[in-house]
Structure 1
Amino acid sequence: MCCSWNLQVKIFGIRGCCFGIANMILVKRMRETLYSALLLQDISFFDNETVGDLTSRLGSDCQQVSRVIGNDLNLILRNVLQATGALIYLIILSWKLGSFTLLICTTLAAVMLIYGQYQKKAAKLTQEFTASANEVAQETFSLMRTVRIYGTEKVELGRYKLWLEKLANISLRQSAAYGFWNLSFNTLYHSTQVIAVLVGGTSILAGHITAEQLTKFILYSEWLIYSTWWVGDNLSSLMQSIGASEKVFGLMDLLPSDQFLSKGLKLPRLMGHIEFVNVAFYYPSREMVPVLRHVNISVHPGEVLAIVGLSGSGKSTIVNLLLRLYEPTNGQILIDGFSLGELDIKWLRERIGYVGQEPKLFHMDISSNIRYGCTRDITQEDVEWAAKQAYAHEFISSLPNGYKTLVDDDLLSGGQKQRIAIARAILRDPAILILDEATSALDAESEHNVKGVLRAVRSESMAKRTVIVIAHRLSTIQAADRIVVMDGGQVVEMGSHRELLHQDGLYARLNRRQADAVA
């Protein structure tokens, strides 16, 4: 008996170890697959999803699934085998008593399935509410300075408490459902004992079974009932995991963006001739609000084209379409005579330098941030050269660890981050350079220096570099070859600085307003 028990313990231990290893492999692969699937989605996907929700899926939801292999399936398998063996032995002892016990177990299983389905729905709601609460917390912490300045701590606490109250309500209902499940088990368990004693006692008096057989029957029936209870308890936990992971599996099944599935053309050399031919665009979530309407722009190789206009006129949208972050609703964009959709998008983006209005740097050292996305071999001397061209070398060298300093939001000012982003763009030596308000966070001296650098970089390779500048400060684009003025998603004026002033249109009015503001 002792040897049998030791053998059983060893078998359960080995099985638990195997399930634990399988659980580790499953969760690792699940997170890798989910993260990979998310990375390959269109930008419009991230417009409709929140960061808190996606990180919650990668974190807590995937961990919830780990219970399926690591614990739930392990215990369910063990108790199903034990219950099956006990049921067979009970029927052999007495088919009449065994039938009663089987009927009770069937009733318990029916209650178990209803309870499991409820737990599945509750778990799905719990994960959604948790993700929403995480989103509020993440947003509040990232905008803590704004919260502190406007004194909205109580408002943010109220937003967070709203989701916590919803979570609490779900937890209360789950507790009530669990209480009903336990009540059902205890009722049916004691019913089994009563039936076994009554029917078994009658059978003993009739001489159908012996007292020893009845004792064995009661012991094995308890084993069967408890095994059924454990199966139900673990099955409800399994249903919770399934409910929580439905969103995860749905995200994992998403197909990659067409940009990553299709293999486009790779031109021998990118000249930088860009054409917008009757381009129109609206965001999928706002189909009734056109952002661009019948835009026709041609940018020649080596030309500096500036795009200006009021906020919301569609300037940045043109850049987003050129980078193929979105697809035009109508019309097409041509690069060197080829449709943008025909070109290999990864190859094209490697040849485009982009500096945004509010550049985001990664939580890595400054040198790695400048190297980021550059596919050719880069030395530290190249990094420092690009930083010098962007007038960033001096302040980087003054940092405690120089180029190895880890980037932190509180460490660098907006202008310093922007100069690092400009250095990153210069290092790529792009055929097309896009500056989307690239000097908005710079002081007057740095702005003057950076503009001089960009003019110098352009003049070094006039024949192969096309520059597109989006600016609110009209003083930064007066030397552009052509200026495109946009209003309401349309091109309303086009020409040089002097020509547009002579036309006395929207550009001239904007120029006068800025001159008056400076005065």
Structure 2
Amino acid sequence: MAYLSRSCFLNNCREISMPSILAASIFSAQRGETMVFSWSLRFLFTLCVTSGICSGLRSGCFSIANIIVVKRLRGRLYYALVFQDISFFDAEAVGVLTSRLGADCQQLSYVIGNNIHLILRNSLQGTGALVNLLTLSWPLTLSALVICFILSTIFLVYGQYQKKAARLTQEFNAHANDVAQESLYQIRTVRAYGTEQKEIGRYKEWLEKLAFVSIRESVAYELWNMSFTTLYRSTQVIAVLLGGMSIMTGYVSVEQLTKYVLYCEWLIYATWRLVDNLSSLLQSIGASERVVQLMDLLPSNQFLSKGVKLPRLMGNIQFVNVSFHYPSRVTVPILDHLCLNVKANEVIAIVGLSGSGKSTLVNLLLRLYEPTNGQIYIDGFPLTELDISWLRENIGFVGQEPYLFHMDIKSNISYGCPKDITDEDVEWAAKQAHAHEFISSLPHGYETLVDDDLLSGGQKQRIAIARAMLRDPAVLILDEATSALDSESEHYVKGILHALRNDNITKRTVIVI
């Protein structure tokens, strides 16, 4: 890569001499200098071939670099997101985050894959053209420099606007994606309530904002493009005017003027391409500010600290003066100085009205949230001092609305199980959850890919129960886990849970919401 870069650098340096060689070729032919004309043509042909080869190799290398950058950006951003607190996801929309992972990371990759190497290339060629102009005639060069200065000034204004517009474009696009994702994911609810037009209206609202910014950005670009075209044509007129006056006074020759005009065009075009690439660079940076902010987020403290791993989790649980309110609802207290003691191997039921904080107890015990006040103890150790990964490996949890991943049923049941398991273990857990019979009746049995339309709510819940039981947890939490089961399945599952609880070998603490 270093050798290739060095070769391309030398090739760019040789390319800068092309206007001079072109002019020399024309006037050597006029003077009848056959040897000089022949040498110039061979050199120009060699430059064309080497330039094409180096350009292709350079583009290929930067394309590969672009692919690597996108992969690393997305990987780093996804890593940063996965290890955030649950409260972070309460405040951020999933559709917006997925848009950051997709379009925004791709936009940021253009900085490496396109903008930087073109900026370097055009800077080099513009500098070479300027040096050649100064050697020809520095008074004539001033006119080209003035126009380049005016172009750069206009770009500074346009570039700042484009950076802001790019940030707003990505922001509005992310919100539009979030609305579309939410509506399509909840399409059954949308269809049941006949709110298709309302969802279309929500989506169009963001599209209108996006179109407004995009139109203004397009107008700004056209103004910038118009400024360049006008100044570029002015350069040609000024070059002919001043050059003609210099020829008449004998200050420069016709060959020098030809070289001057060619290098002027080279300098102006290099300046235009340079500021255009800088504009794209600012656009990429503006569109990716939020990505950079998200990548800089530190993981949650519970993942940074190494806690205690007990030889064996017994299942003694204590809530001591625990108070809590959700970060998004500071004025709404959920728990207020709660004290609760659950002994090891005990089965307790927590009963209360909807919204009274039953599921919040589970969230705190799983350390999805931290108590506002008070402390939670497990086997006499504060929850904050225990290793969070080890703790969750020893807790089985079945929620009210269990979510199954888009993978086969066997993988869903074994998901997150910390120990080595066999197909027989998976089948055993499915039988305990009264799920083996319906799984076996599916077209591909345990290899069947889970789809939203494939399984009923009760079937999904039984698979989730099987997932929890496969872990053989010391603490089993059932948050209304049988709410979607029919009466017969619920009867079987409850019987099996009681049997497991009374088993002298597999005793466990069971909390039933």
Fold-level similarity (TM above 0.5): yes
Instruction: Tell me the residue number matched to 1:106.
Output: 149
Does 2:51 align with 1:5?
A: no
**Alignment partner of 1:277 is 2:324:** no
Could you tell me how far 1:113 is from its partner in structure 2? 2.2
**CA RMSD across the alignment:** 1.1
Q: Distance in 2 between matches of 1:335 and 1:356?
A: 21
Deviations 1:29-77 (A, max 9, x none): 1111111111111111111111101100111111112222222222222
1:73 and 1:319 mapped to 2: Cα distance? 51
The whole-number CA distance in structure 2 between the counterparts of 1:76 and 1:6 is 23
1:457-500 CA distances to partner (integer Å, 9 max, x unpaired)?
11114884111110xxxxxxxxxxxxxxxxxxxxxxxxxxxxxx
Q: Distance in 2 between matches of 1:413 and 1:421?
A: 13
Cα offsets for 1:325-375 (capped at 9, x unmatched): 000000000000000000001000000000000000000000110001111
Q: 1:121 Cα deviation (Å)?
A: 0.8
Q: Which residue of structure 2 lines up, in the alignment, with residue 193 of structure 1?
A: 236
Instruction: Quote the residue 2:341 is aligned against.
Output: 298
Q: Deviations over 1:155-202 (max 9, x none)?
A: 111111111111111111011001110111012112212221222222
Q: Which amino acid aligns with 1:258?
A: N
Which of 283, 286, 290 in structure 2 is aligned with 1:243?
286
Other-structure match for 1:67: 110
How does 1:215-294 map onto structure 2 within 5 Å?
215-294=258-337
The letter for the 2-side match of 1:269 is R
Give the letter for the 1:114 counterpart: V
Q: Does 1:208 align with 2:254?
A: no
1:137 partnered with 2:198: no
2:441 maps to 1:398: yes
Superposed CA offset, 1:66-94 (max 9, x none): 22222222222221111111111011111
Instruction: Say yes or no: does 1:350 pair with 2:373.
Output: no
Q: Deviations over 1:195-241 (max 9, x none)?
A: 21222222222221112211211111011111111112222111111
What percentage of residue pairs aligned between the two structures are identical? 70
Alpha-carbon distance in 1 for matches of 2:506, 2:220: 73
**Using the alignment, how far apart are the partners of 2:328 and 2:202 within structure 1?**
25
Matches within 5 A, 1:135-174: 135-174=178-217
User: Structure 2: which amino acid aligns with 1:260?
Assistant: F
Q: Separation in 1 of the partners of 2:80 and 2:109? A: 19
- Distance in 2 between residues matched to 1:81 and 1:196, nearest whole Å: 23
The answer for unaligned runs of 5 or more in structure 1 is: 471-519
1:319 aligns with 2:319: no
The 4+ residue runs of structure 1 with deviation greater than 2 A are: 461-464
Partner Cα separation in structure 2 for residue 5 and residue 194 of structure 1: 29
Q: Which residue of 2 aligns with 1:481?
A: none
Deviation at 1:13, TM superposition (A): 1.7
- Tell me what 1:467 maps to: 510
In the superposition, the TM-score normalised over structure 1's length comes to: 0.89
- Give the structure 2 partner of residue 435 of structure 1: 478
Q: Say if 2:498 is the partner of 1:455.
A: yes
Residue 457 of structure 2 corresponds to which residue in structure 1?
414
CA contact (8 A) 1:20 1:69 kept: no
Q: Give, in whole Å, the separation in 2 of the partners of 1:163 and 1:406.
A: 35
In the alignment, what sits opposite 1:478?
none
Q: Which moved more, 1:332-341 or 1:76-85?
A: 76-85
Contact 1:301 1:463 in 2 (8 A): no
> CA contact under 8 A between 2:164 and 2:286: conserved in structure 1?
yes
1:35 correspondence with 2:78: yes
Please give the alpha-carbon distance, in whole angstroms, between the structure 2 residues aligned to 1:64 and 1:168.
Answer: 19
Question: What secondary structure sits across from 1:375 in the alignment?
Answer: coil
Of 449-458 and 186-195, deviating more is 186-195
Q: Is the 8 Å Cα contact of residues 500 and 506 (structure 2) preserved in structure 1?
A: no
**Contact (CA 8 Å) 2:96, 2:178: kept in 1 or not?**
yes
2: CA distance, partners of 1:440 / 1:146: 20
CA distance in 2, matches of 1:439, 1:155: 35
The one-letter code of the counterpart of 1:287 is V
**Residue range with higher mean Cα deviation, 113-122 or 258-267:** 113-122
- Alpha-carbon distance in 2 for matches of 1:462, 1:305: 20
Q: Partner letter of residue 465 of structure 1?
A: R
Q: Deviations over 1:369-410 (max 9, x none)?
A: 000111111010011011011100000000000000000010
Query: Deviation of residue 106 (structure 1)?
Result: 1.3
Mapped pair 1:83 → 2:126: yes
Over 3 Å counting, the alpha-carbon distance change for 1:300 and 1:199 in structure 2 is same
Shift in Å at residue 411 of structure 1? Answer: 0.3
Listed as ranges, the gaps of 5+ residues in structure 2 are: 1-43
Distance, in Å, in 2 between the alignment partners of 1:347 and 1:73 is 46
Rounded Cα–Cα distance in structure 1 between residues aligned with 2:279 and 2:473: 57
- Match of 1:195, SS state, is helix
Partner of 1:512: none
Partner of 1:485: none
Is the contact made by 1:302 and 1:465 (CA closer than 8 Å) also made in structure 2? yes
Q: Is the 8 A contact 1:361 1:407 kept in 2?
A: yes
Letter in 2 for 1:412: L
Amino acid in structure 1 at the alignment position of 2:276: D
* SS, match of residue 350 in structure 2: strand
Work out the CA distance in 2 between the residues paired with 1:136 and 1:151.
17
Cα offsets for 1:313-332 (capped at 9, x unmatched) = 11100100000000000000
Instruction: Determine the C-alpha separation between the residues in 2 that align with 1:69 and 1:332.
Output: 49
* DSSP-derived class of the 1:277 partner: strand
| Alpha-carbon distance in 1 for matches of 2:281, 2:93 | 27
